[in-house]
Structure 1
Amino acid sequence: MPRTSGTRALQRVFGVLAATGVCLTAAPAGSASASDKPDKPDFGLTSSSECVFGGGNIKPAPWSLQRILLDQMRGESTGKDVTVAVIDTGVDNTNKQLSSAIAPGGKDFVGNTKGTTDTEGHGTRVAGIIAARPVSGSGFAGIAPEAKILPIRYTGGEDEKKPGSSATMSAAIDYAVKQHASIINISSDTVGRQDNAALRAAVDRAVASGALIVAAAGNEGADGKSADTYPAAYEGVLAVAASDRNDERAFFSQSGKFVDVAAPGVGMISTVPKGGQCTADGTSFAAPYVAGVAALLKSKHPGWSAAQITTRIEESAKRTGRDRNQYLGWGVVDPIAALADDSDPKTRATADPKPDIVAGHVVPMAVTMGESEAERDQRTAMYVMGGSLVLVLVVAGSGVVVRDWRRKQTRAAGTGSL
């Protein structure tokens, strides 16, 4: 069976490099360097050292699914009738969990396939997290197991002969819109985090058409510095950071004001070419998790706009504060909470209300030591009523005593005259 890299040691080296944001897309021999050619794509990929294309499935459910009440989630929506375009290294359709998920009309911008060839395995992993069908003997399945995947191959990944570029990514975005994909997943960013006018224009056209673009924030965040990455930082794109099992930012996840939400991106099980599953880390695999949730919402609420779906995902996320931050955005995505609220969302998320603050300190609720004024009035009224009742009884009792005394006096006088 072919391995994704030559030896286990070499695979581990590549894994560390990818996790720390080092570009794994080599420049073609004899071509310009990355600094001279900033439009070349950069996608992080941390592969398991045991990953074999065409290998076996992993039996336990991944932690990213164990935290979800799957029956409840799938009772709300399964992503049916929603197409998600995966703009990536292609999506291998020989994996049994994906063969029935592939939508017709895929395209290859760097080769002669229909987008269903993936020598790298990156796009196949991404697609699996979105819409892999359940299979016997494994706890892994996609977030939206009835959604369709439109495979669009814009790069050959590490294949030097088919590097891809911002031009092929831009063309892929336009093609996804033409094919009426409701959601577009892009788990790549540009080398050196370079902005690109053509790519920006393609994103603008897609957003204007009503498509929702979900993009990975990038894997160059290990240095702790904030920076924009593209296309994730473009206006209208749902930018996704990676979180770990503790709902904290994965150390490699790029931070920045552009980050909208976070999703599981560590130890992510997914499908690989020729069958089987492997694990991987990266914001590349956090983005499709969110794209899957978006597919669930679009399936359940087909009339919702991309902005409304984005808002529901952001406002239902597990927040770490009242407002967004540069590490996790509005928080870690919560699929159950997103699906539970059927009210129509607005088109922009808002911060939670501010607490009462005086001189920089939270004002605690007043604590009443003893009875309140209302309780005191109530007690006084009871005393008055009680006193009045006692007085009436005393007066009535006194009248009876006086009457009895007079009768005794009359009887005594009558007895003496005999």
Structure 2
Amino acid sequence: MAHLGSRRRAALAVPLGLALTASFGFLPSAASAAPLNETPTAAVSTNGPELSYVVNLSHYGSVKHVTRAIERAGGSVVTTHHKIGVIVVHSANPEFAQQIRKAWGVASAGATRTAPLQAVQTTDEGSTQVLSAEAAAKAKKAAKPGMEPLEANQWDLRAIGADKAHKISQGSRRVTVGVIDTGVDDTHPDLAPNFSRSQSANCVGGVADTSEGAWRPYADGSDHGTHVAGIIAAARNGIGVSGVAPGVKVAGIKVSEPATSLFYTEAVVCGFMFAAEKGIEITNNSYYVDPWYFNCKDDPDQGALVESLTRATRYAAKKGVLSVASAGNSNWDLDSDAIVDDSSPNDTTPGSRTINPKECWDVPTQLPGVVTVGATGDKGLKSYYSNYGLGVIDVSAPGGDKWQVPDTPDANGRILSTIPGGEYGYKQGTSMAGPEVAGVAALLKSEHPWATPAQLQWMLKAQASKTACPTHVYNSAGELIEATTCKSNGRLTGYYGAGVVNALRAVR
């Protein structure tokens, strides 16, 4: 995996639009009597590359007045999220952000990308090992009564007790998990029975497109979202694999740009808002928001992106949505004081910078209220690539590890799941651990339908299998080394948080 499945909990110092009530507290148009101090009326430049921006209103801000200021600064409004005070804008004025920040009623504003809107970028999200017909036949031969045909290779289900949990409960049809990702192939025979079209959309660009099939991956696009969806809710229908919660519904919310796996703020904000308004109970977020691996609050652009996303996730939580996110695949300690990020911005030319992850956040994973997930392998050890950090990781789950080889027909330490075209494949990453947790959360929500997102997060931690720091872990070369980087505090550890989630306990 590259940035997909890459990723954390503190308080942001930028003004976050405050209580974020349902109405957000905008002033009515009568506020025109106030001094506007807006963008000068002189002609503005439109000779720069057209970029996308988010403009965050202050608690006293008026959409009407800020929209006028946006137009004077050479911007055009794409959409307005009235309930959280976020406006998505396009502008070719290279000074747009600096000018609009001076406007009355604006709390912050920033460019969501460094590449022009029409630019085509590519990213490497990691390879998928497609399950061969020969391997499938071997798995089917090894399947025991009551197992799905390929379930013998799903060591991850057994690691969290999901196989036993399914004999008690497979989850409720009243619960939907939204996969905010690269799109979901709802025609896959293991996903079609549980797919919710009415709760699916394409949010690329910032506006939800709910037309038929808009949520599917691009024809030449990524299989990532479909793989994630199968981990959560592949049906127990005698066809292929089983998800952690095979009785719940799954929805696809596509947020990745065409021909790439880049996720920009305007699309992700749309994804959270869409999930909130469509009654989705849980979202899975196996990505970080591009182009910055970490967003520093003292940078006016990056701080504005964090503010928009914070508003969106807080609003979603108020509407009953629990957000689950992956911790990342760089083997970094997110509780340290310094990390060298040499991958940002990843939509143009990356530079190198040293950041403090306590102040510069990987989003949405480090946003308040989001469940941060680390990855483990078949032996129960932290996966060699998984990010970690005491007080950052909430819980862990199987994400796969090629060095921790299971006793399965394929002897493959990665995670087997659905991929487009009715096929199956193996991936590893915290991208795979996140949906394992989202699946367990769906089982918990099925058993406790009135539980709030905060209560569900507490339950996830309470039912997790407590896991102490190991003495050794594998490194990227497959060597067992001393686990000197694992810190603990009581029953919490930097590798596993409160422990590895347990599906069987969730349904008991």
Smaller-chain TM-score bracket: 0.5 to 0.7
1:84/1:148 contact within 8 Å kept: yes
The 1:21–1:289 alpha-carbon spacing in structure 2 relative to 1, beyond 3 Å, is closer
Correspondent of 1:271 among 394, 418, 431:
418
SS at match of 1:303: coil
Which structure 2 residues correspond to residues 9-408 of structure 1 after superposition, within 5 A? 36=114, 45-50=125-130, 59=150, 60-70=152-162, 72-80=164-172, 81-105=174-198, 106-110=200-204, 113-118=213-218, 119-136=221-238, 138=240, 140-156=241-257, 159-160=259-260, 163-190=262-289, 191-194=292-295, 196-221=306-331, 226=336, 227=357, 228-256=361-389, 257-266=391-400, 267-321=414-468, 322-340=490-508
Deviation at 1:109, TM superposition (A): 1.9
The CA distance in 2 between the partners of 1:21 and 1:237, in whole Å, is: 14
Deviation at 1:76, TM superposition (A): 3.2
The answer for unaligned runs of 5 or more in structure 1 is: 1-14, 23-29, 341-418
Aligned-residue identity in percent = 30
Deviation at 1:225, TM superposition (A): 7.5
| More displaced stretch, 72-81 vs 174-183 | 72-81
The CA distance in 1 between the partners of 2:369 and 2:136, in whole Å, is: 39
| More displaced stretch, 110-119 vs 305-314 | 110-119
The 1:334–1:42 alpha-carbon spacing in structure 2 relative to 1, beyond 3 Å, is farther
The answer for unaligned runs of 5 or more in structure 2 is: 8-48, 52-110, 140-149, 297-305, 337-356, 401-413, 469-489
1:25-73 CA-partner distances (Å, limit 9, x unpaired)? xxxxx99999947xx99998443344689x9686323110233555541
SS at match of 2:328: coil
Which structure has the highest helix share of the two?
1
1:133-187 CA-partner distances (Å, limit 9, x unpaired)? 124364x200110111111111147x14x84401110111000000000111111
The CA distance in 1 between the partners of 2:455 and 2:121, in whole Å, is: 29
2:112/2:266 contact within 8 Å kept: no
Which structure has the highest strand share of the two?
2
The 1:281–1:109 alpha-carbon spacing in structure 2 relative to 1, beyond 3 Å, is same
1:183-229 CA-partner distances (Å, limit 9, x unpaired)? 11111113322262211111111122221111111112258974452
1:224-276 CA-partner distances (Å, limit 9, x unpaired)? 97445211111111111111112221121112332100000011111000111
1:263-304 CA-partner distances (Å, limit 9, x unpaired)? 000111110001111000011111110100011111111122
Larger Rg: 1
1:261/1:332 contact within 8 Å kept: yes
SS at match of 1:277: strand
Deviation at 1:323, TM superposition (A): 2.7
2:179/2:285 contact within 8 Å kept: yes
The CA distance in 1 between the partners of 2:267 and 2:448, in whole Å, is: 32
The CA distance in 1 between the partners of 2:125 and 2:492, in whole Å, is: 27
The CA distance in 2 between the partners of 1:219 and 1:42, in whole Å, is: 19
1:42/1:189 contact within 8 Å kept: no
SS at match of 1:146: coil
1:85/1:185 contact within 8 Å kept: yes
The CA distance in 2 between the partners of 1:236 and 1:319, in whole Å, is: 21
1:88/1:152 contact within 8 Å kept: yes
TM-score by length of 2: 0.56
Deviation at 1:315, TM superposition (A): 1.5
The CA distance in 1 between the partners of 2:166 and 2:311, in whole Å, is: 36
What RMSD, in angstroms, separates the aligned Cα atoms of the two structures? 3.4
Aligned residue pair count: 313
The 1:18–1:176 alpha-carbon spacing in structure 2 relative to 1, beyond 3 Å, is closer
2:179/2:283 contact within 8 Å kept: yes
The CA distance in 1 between the partners of 2:443 and 2:189, in whole Å, is: 22
2:281/2:320 contact within 8 Å kept: yes
Letter in 1 for 2:500: V
Letter in 1 for 2:311: A
1:56/1:276 contact within 8 Å kept: no
The CA distance in 1 between the partners of 2:394 and 2:432, in whole Å, is: 16
1:302-340 CA-partner distances (Å, limit 9, x unpaired)? 122222221111022122343322221111111112332
The CA distance in 2 between the partners of 1:308 and 1:42, in whole Å, is: 39
1:76/1:339 contact within 8 Å kept: yes
The 1:47–1:61 alpha-carbon spacing in structure 2 relative to 1, beyond 3 Å, is same
TM-score by length of 1: 0.67
The CA distance in 1 between the partners of 2:122 and 2:366, in whole Å, is: 15
Letter in 2 for 1:141: S
